[in-house]
Amino acid sequence: NSSSMKEFILLSLSENQGVQKIYFVVFLLFYTLTVAGNLMVLTVTSSRHLNSPMYFFLCHLSFVDICYSSVTAPQMISGFLVENNTITFAGCIGQLFGVHFFGCTEIFILTAMAYDRCVAICRPLHYPALMSRRLCSCMMGVSWAGGFLHSTLQTLPIALLPFCGPNRVAHYFCDVHPLLHLACADTRAEGLAAVANSGVISLSCFLILLTSYVVILVSLRGQTLAGWHKALSTCGSHITVVILFFGPTTFVYIRPSSDLSRDRSVAVFYTLITPMLNPLIYTLQNGEVKAAMRKLCRR
């Protein structure tokens, strides 16, 4: 009976009190920057002047990043100040759902953005016709629905497991592997299903992304140096984000986990660092966004 477990205790990133105080300040700063940066991008990209598909996707990406880091960061940051960072059973399952929902949606949005860049560079004349409003909305709908489906499939089996023993989650947020370790049942099937589910999604999206970059590079063969420069600067920011996000997530989710402490430090990367860097990476690369930012600041 799962109701026998009323709450879990989440681990901190460090056992040392002094280090925890430093972490509290650092991560609070990171989280504030994440929310502020992405809110700025949200405000700018939803303005009337920037109405190309790229900004439509960027707007959604920023929204997802705010939600994604908000699922884990506040709990982790407040945990640095208390002896035992507890979370209720329902809160834990909710957090698990949120992490996978927003994380997976982010993966799909990054994939949609790669397709958008690919069309923009390889078929510039047909771009407005190919990337219609309707197609963009469709891609966005599929991204959100896909994220929802993925996280439901990840969360349901775990919510139904019996938890009766130790309640210390070996992570700073509730995730699949740390919770499977605590269940009072044989969880090998659930573990494999989780790896397969996350693995298939991250690997297939990563392959789509790689393919889109290959197509872009092939299409640039006859281009001038200026053409190359323009295309690579457009894709550069996207490639950076993809490496920063996919590297760590694939590392954590694609293998049956044995070393949870290593997963913990890697997870900081994709739950907090990447969402914080996204606005920087995209705005530094983009003249239009920078101009719109300046306008916003003047206002």
Structure tokens at 235: 């894709």
How far is Cα 293 from Cα 298, in angstroms, rounded to an integer? 9
CA-wise closest residue to 13 among 262, 246, 258, 248: 262
CA-wise closest residue to 99 among 31, 168, 176, 23: 176
**Can you tell me which residue has the tokens 């105080």?**
21
pLDDT for the residue numbered 2: 44
Q: Tens digits of per-residue pLDDT, 253-287?
A: 776 656 666 777 788 878 888 888 888 877 766 67
pLDDT band at 34 (very low <50, low <70, confident <90, very high): very high
Q: Tens digits of per-residue pLDDT, 132-179?
A: 989 999 999 999 999 999 999 999 999 988 888 788 888 888 988 888
What dihedral do alpha carbons 78, 84, 89, 95 form, nearest 10°? Answer: 30
Q: Tens digits of per-residue pLDDT, 222-235?
A: 777 777 777 777 67
Q: Residues 71, 95: contact at Cβ < 8 Å?
A: yes
CA-wise closest residue to 8 among 161, 171, 252: 171
pLDDT for the residue numbered 291: 76
**Can you tell me which residue has the tokens 């994709």?**
270
Structure tokens at 190: 């659930």
CATH numbers and ranges of domains, the chain: 7-298 (1.20.1070.10)
Mean model confidence pLDDT for the chain: 84
